[in-house]
Structure 1
Amino acid sequence: MIDMLGRGDVIPLQKALELLDNVAVVIPEKERMPVEDICGRILAETITSAEDVPHFARSTMDGYALRAEDTFGVTETLPAYIKITNEVFMGKTPNFYIKHGEAAKIPTGGMLPDGTDAVLMFEHTQPFGEADIEVLKALAPGDNVIQAGQDIHKGAVLLHPGHKLRPQDMGALCAVGISETWVYKRPVVSIISTGDEIIPPGVPLNGAEVRDINSYNLSGLLLNNGAVPARKGIFRDDYDTIHDIVTEAVKTSQMVLITGGSSVGTLDMTARIIDSLGRPGVVFHGVAVKPGKPLIAGSVNGIPVFGLPGHPAAVTVSFEVFIKPVLRRLKGELADESSKDILRARLTSNIASQPARTDFIWIKVLNNGGELFAQPLLSKSGLISALVQADGLIKIPAEKRGLQKGDEVIVRLF
């Protein structure tokens, strides 16, 4: 495919993603961490329970522990009568035995005493005399009871390596007595800003200078996706200067992002630097997408390196579409959870697109009476305000010439 500048290396989106999927990455190192610090981290070991959860039969209701057979045939008009002989307390092992015709008062979570196999809710009883109750409902063995090991069996596999740990996973680890576990280290990603016109955000503007947006935007995207950003600074568009900082970055990080070069010459220089540093070098240079067409993707001896165009919109799309899948592998994460961050909505207006090119459009999600609508934020290239207003992206496939008002679209949320 030939792009508007006459280059023949612009490839379709799907081909670019396939090439990236085959790029080798360095396997993450592991570190052992306490459970309280693992939320959002990627598990690096198989978690197997060494005990039953719960390790005793326990009540799921406030009520009376008894023998279910003592309630067989009971109805509200034909009640049974049971004597209350004891009481179960939380955290205490009952040291008594319940016989036929007897029951023990028990709280939710209490341990069933010997001789019992069910719990009768308070609501299904009435007091009868000083120590008896009138039973108004029949029970089956196991009613309102969690048996030992019913939640988690000893020897059961709870979690597998590559799983992104959630709060509920932390709770499960604690339930089986695990206070620390192995997780993969967060990958360090170097961010290199280039451009003679780029200055830090705290410096007054002078003439045609512009402030550094992309390195801070990328830092936030990396933090939100479980990586450690390492901003290396702003460097002028000089081959030797950029070559030196990229050389240092591939030695000290697990991924390198070079951003700022919006001209063809600067991006070509970035491609030459990547090729000069190791194998396989540049994997592709140019993708049939908008925004983000000039994207460079490569690898230097197992370290992924991306050359990003200078527009903030293109940087964000490139991260979401191309960098995030590689970063997921760098983290040791196996499952692709991107499907959790989507919703369906209907377009509020028509959108045109060019054939043979995949377009990504910023979307603001509107809720009108419980129905979701996707409002396109069509703006000129490079405007940061559209990013600020947007809730996510939609994709117009290369085989389409646009979308119509009312079409259902899939919104990829930020």
Structure 2
Amino acid sequence: MQFYNVKSVEETFSIINQNVTPHGATVTLPLHQARGFVLAEDIIAPEDVPGFDRATVDGYAVKAQDTYGSSESNPQFLEVVGEIEMGEEVTRVLEKGQAMAIPTGGMLPPGSDSVIMMEYCENLDGLLNTYRQVAPQENVIQKGEDVQKGAQLLAKGTRLRAQELGVLASLGITEVTVYRPVRVGYFSSGDEIVSYQTQELKVGQVRDINQLTISALIEEWGGEVMFGGIVPDDEEQLKQTAHRLYEQVDFLVMSGGSSIGAKDYMTAVIQSLGDPGVLVHGVSIKPGKPTIFSMAGKKPVLGLPGHPASAMLIFLLFGQTVMRRLQGEAERSLPRRIEARITQNIASSPGRADYIRVRLAKKEGEWWAEPILGKSGLISTLVASDGLVEIASGKEGVRQGERVPVIMLR
């Protein structure tokens, strides 16, 4: 199997989305520990939020019709019959021509339907002068306006952020059922690869950067890493390591050994894990063409290029998508993107997606992307980069000043 019938980036995403499904294992967590996890069930609101009509400003609770016609030159006059305290249930019914002082968040008294702001009225010894009319429900949040009892509050597949945790807390929900973290097995391969802790390299040896960068991304996205070590270019050893990790994880990732060469056993090793086997053998992308994606049963397997920069880019694109599918996220989530203007012309080959490292700077309210030029295998250019400009496969390049999508690396 060779890199002649490669897939486009879009085709690769489509294949991943068609084949990768949630791993299905769930855990129940206290709400304060659930940030970043994905809901494994729909959340139905057990009560209304708010549970009563409440004021959104400091002012006076009134009947809106009692303020009609109010102006600076022609105020209406209302009797102030009390003051509402925060957290207090109000039972007194507001009658026509009456008003009650109310703080932001206070409960509206029965009979009132709006709040006039402090700035537009004046209390003169119990006589409220209104200098502006208000409409019904003005400056009021009605009972159930934020969340209605019995409504679907959050859907299965929602990743929990601070705002989702906040709305759950507002309903008294203290624990949630979520998908457990994705377990990812990773190993590096290559006769030349040695531990990154090696202090003195022999000629031809290369420290294993990928172990750290890929593991860091997995953990950043909420996954758990099982490291299988560094395996030499020996087909039997590669198979043993791959099969051992495969049995213990949801997603198997390996780097190196995916380029064409005499010691390229990776495709055979991946294929041996199970059917349907290799679905993508090469992606029309630079850097990162020698990429393999496979399904062994229901478990995805990703073979990354050996070059650290290429491996990191491919894992940002495809590894993150696989993990989010496994975690049950409702929609495919691509890496965070912004739009920027490119500072210079960049040529690209049609039929291949290019990812150009850039440094971002803001000028006159707009982001500008300055290419950091260098060979695609250089890790130092990634360190200096804020993002990656994406040039789609159908384009022959971009012109200076053109708006381009940038995948954020920071």
Mark yes or no: TM-score above 0.5: yes
Distance 1:399 1:103 in 2: 67
Q: Does residue 22 in structure 1 map to residue 18 in structure 2?
A: yes
Report the alpha carbon displacement of residue 384 of structure 1 after superposing the two structures with TM: 0.9
State the shift of 1:51 in Å.
1.2
CA distance, structure 2, for counterparts of residue 366 and residue 122 of structure 1? 45
> Unpaired runs of 5+ in structure 2?
none
- Distance in 1 of aligned mates of 2:136 and 2:366: 47
Match of 1:72 in 2: 68
User: Does structure 2 retain, via aligned residues, the 8 Å contact 1:259–1:310?
Assistant: yes
Distance 1:384 1:49 in 2: 49
- Post-superposition offset of 1:266: 7.1
Pick from 309, 331, 342: which aligns with 2:337? 342
Question: 1-side partners of 2:119 and 2:281: how far apart?
Answer: 71
Which of 273, 277, 283 is the aligned partner of 1:281? 277
Per-residue Cα deviation, 1:110-139 (whole angstroms, up to 9, x for no partner): 1112232222222122232x3222222223
Which residues in structure 2 correspond to 1:238-249 (within 5 Å)? 238-249=234-245
Hey, what's the Cα distance between the residues in 1 that align with 2:65 and 2:394?
68
Contact 1:237 1:266 in 2 (8 A): no
| SS in structure 1 of the partner of residue 264 of structure 2 | helix
With 277-286 and 259-268 compared, the bigger mean Cα shift is at 259-268
- Pair 1:147-2:142 in alignment: yes
Cα shift at 1:7: 4.8
Most deviating of 15-24 and 32-41: 15-24
For the pair 1:199 / 2:201, whether they are aligned, the reply is no
Residues 378, 49 of structure 1: CA spacing in aligned structure 2 closer, same or farther, 3 A cutoff? same
Residue matched to 2:255: 259
TM-score, normalised relative to structure 1: 0.92
State the Cα distance separating 1:97 from its structure 2 match: 3.2
Q: TM-score, normalised by structure 2?
A: 0.93
2:100 aligned counterpart, secondary structure: strand
Note if 1:211 corresponds to 2:207: yes
The one-letter code matched in structure 1 to 2:356 is I
Give the RMSD, CA atoms, in angstroms: 2.2
Give the C-alpha shift of residue 145 in structure 1: 1.6
Q: Which amino acid aligns with 2:46?
A: A
Q: Do the aligned partners of 2:258 and 2:292 also contact (CA within 8 Å) in 1? A: no
> 1:35 Cα shift?
1.6
**Structure 1, 11-20 or 295-304: larger mean CA deviation:** 11-20
Question: Which deviates the most, 250-259 or 288-297?
Answer: 288-297
Q: What is the alpha-carbon distance in structure 1 between the residues aligned to residue 343 and residue 176 of structure 2?
A: 48
- Does residue 291 (structure 1) correspond to residue 269 (structure 2)? The answer is no
Deviation at 1:142, TM superposition (A): 2.0
Aligned to 1:374: 369
On the 8 A contact 1:213/1:312 being kept in 2, the answer is yes
Paired position in structure 2 for 1:169: 164
Distance verdict in 2 for CA 1:358–1:146, change over 3 Å: closer
For 2:133, the equivalent position in structure 1 comes to 138
8 A contact 1:362–1:378 mirrored in 2: yes
- 8 A Cα contact 1:364 1:377, kept in partner: yes
Q: Counterparts of 1:8-407 in structure 2 under 5 Å?
A: 8-25=4-21, 27-128=23-124, 130-208=125-203, 209-261=205-257, 263-265=259-261, 268-338=264-334, 341-407=336-402
Structure 1 letter corresponding to 2:128: I
Task: Tell me how far apart the structure 2 counterparts of residues 14 and 81 of structure 1 sit (CA, whole Å).
Answer: 68
SS state at 2:164 partner: helix
Distance 1:372 1:186 in 2: 35
Matched residue SS, 2:28: strand
SS in 2 for 1:78: coil
Q: Which amino acid aligns with 1:53?
A: V
Q: Flag the 1:18–1:124 CA change in 2: closer, same or farther, 3 A.
A: closer
CA distance in 2, matches of 1:136, 1:356: 68
Q: Runs ≥4 in structure 1, deviation > 6 angstroms?
A: none
